[in-house]
Amino acid sequence: MKHGTKIFIFQKILEMLLTVFIVTVLSFILMQISPVDAAEAYAQRSQQRNSQAMVEVLREEMGLNDPLPIQYWNWLKNAVRLDFGSSYVNQKDVLSQVTTAFSFTAKIILLAGALEAVIILLLGSLCYVCRNMIAGRIISILCFAAISIPPFFLASTFIDVFAMKLGVITVVGNAGLMR
């Protein structure tokens, strides 16, 4: 392997590590600047007496009284070991809950991909058949507009319409459309 190739690989590994570091720091900071105090929220959710002494005990148990660098280090160390602890809501292992939810997410992604492929093939065929007509131009413009709209906006709109307004699907749990 050439010396220049080794340097290039080394630089890319450093870039990757720096990116991972920045993403983890930003994630940690976003959790810290949340206006919700985790200990208070847990005390309220678990319907315990929400006294200041109880909240302080919970903060100590959760490690929220430690300095931020120590909290970050513990958080990062546990994340690398895939130890995300247990949920404060239902006391189940967080990793097992995420892997369970992943199967539903994968089904949705596969369904969306298959639907997208069918629609693309149909619209592409229709555009080809109508290529010299005004209908072909209109379909092309509509397809270009659909591609230009950010997917996040479309997904947010979809959730707002179908989950919040119509109640066809749910955004919590695994009920709704996929059931």
Most confident of 86-100, 108-122, 135-149: 108-122
pLDDT surpassing 80 at residue 46: no
Confidence band (pLDDT; 50, 70, 90) for 7?
A: very high
Which residues, in sequence order, are bridge partners of residue 86? Answer: 93
Residue given tokens 């309220």 in the structure block: 44
47-73 pLDDT, tens digit per residue, is 656 678 888 888 888 888 889 899 999
pLDDT at residue 14, as a whole number: 96
pLDDT surpassing 60 at residue 178: no
- Do 142 and 119 meet the contact criterion of CB atoms below 8 Å apart? no
16-28 pLDDT, tens digit per residue, is 999 999 998 998 8
Residue given tokens 């069918």 in the structure block: 118
Q: What is the mean pLDDT of the chain?
A: 83
Residue % of the chain over a pLDDT of 90: 18
**Residue 128 exposure: Cα atoms within 13 Å on the Cβ side:** 6
Distance of alpha carbon 93 from alpha carbon 23, whole angstroms: 24
Residue given tokens 């929400």 in the structure block: 50
- How much is the CA Rg of the chain, to the nearest whole Å? 24
Q: Judging by beta carbons within 10 Å of its beta carbon (0-12, 13-18, 19+), is residue 143 exposed, middle or buried? A: middle
123-159 pLDDT, tens digit per residue, is 889 888 988 889 888 888 888 887 777 777 877 888 8
pLDDT at residue 142, as a whole number: 85
Give, as one character, the DSSP assignment of residue 93: B
Confidence band (pLDDT; 50, 70, 90) for 171?
A: low
Is the full-model pTM beyond 0.85?
no
Average pLDDT over every residue of 1-23: 93
Distance of alpha carbon 76 from alpha carbon 62, whole angstroms: 15
